[in-house]
Amino acid sequence: MPPPHRPPTVCSARAYVDARLQLEPFRAPVNQQQRVVDDVVKQLQGNPLLVERLLLCKPLRVELIPAKKALAAFGYPRTVSPRAAGLFWNHPDWEQARIALRQDMLEQEPALVFHEFAHAIHYLAFTRDEQQLIYQVLRPTFGSRPAMDEVFAIYSERELSGEFVARDKQAPGVYGFARQQWDENHLFTRFVRKLYFPFRAPAGPSMAPRRDGDWMKGIARK
C-alpha cells in the first residue's frame, strides 16, 4: 500500500476506468460517454487507496440505456421502477457488476453518475463489516437498508456535485428528506468527505489552534 502522504492523482483513477470499467453506450452521444468517464475519474481521483481497492473488485459494466426502454429488457430486475433514472445491480451470477444510466436522464441529472457509482463503491469496495459500521450510524434516522444505501449515495452527490437545488430537495421519500437535512456538521458528512478527499480539511467545525502550555492554563483556572 502507498504511504499516507501520497498525493491524489488523476492517473490512478483512469487506471481503474481502463482496467475495470466497460462502457456500453447503446449509440449514446459521444459527449454522454465522455461525461460518464470524466465523472467516474472525478469521483475517484482524490483517493488513490480507494482506487486500489476497486482494482481488486469485480469489474463494472456501465450501460447507457436508450430513452423509453425498460431496464428489465436489458436484464435488470422487473421490479425496478419505470421512473428510475439509474440503477446499480450486482447479481452473484454476473461476471460484472452493472450500472444502468438512462440517456435522457443524464441530460437532466448532473449527479446521476456520482449517485450510481457511489452504490458501486459501497457494495464493491467496502467489506461487510465496513458496511455495517455505516448502517449503525444511519439506522437511527433512516431505518431500512435501502434507505441507508440511498443516503450514502446522496451524501456522495453533495461532495462531488455541489449544493442541492430546490428540485432535488422536493424529490419523494428519502431522496428529498436526506437532501433537506444534509448539514456540513454531520458526522456522516465528515466520513464521506474523508472517503473521497482524504487530503482536504475535514467537514464540520474545526478546533481552535492551541499553543503549547494552553492546556495547563485551563487546569490552573479550575
Task: Tell me which of 166 and 9 has the higher pLDDT.
Answer: 166
Average pLDDT, integer, range 79-99: 92
Q: What's phi and psi for 130, nearest 5 deg?
A: -65, -40
pLDDT in tens, 103-149: 999 989 999 999 999 999 999 999 999 999 999 999 999 999 999 99
Grid look-up 501520497 returns 6
Q: Is the pTM of this model over 0.95?
A: no
pLDDT, one tens digit per residue, over 150-199 is 999 999 999 999 999 999 999 999 999 999 999 999 999 999 999 999 99
To the nearest whole number, what is the mean pLDDT of the chain?
A: 89
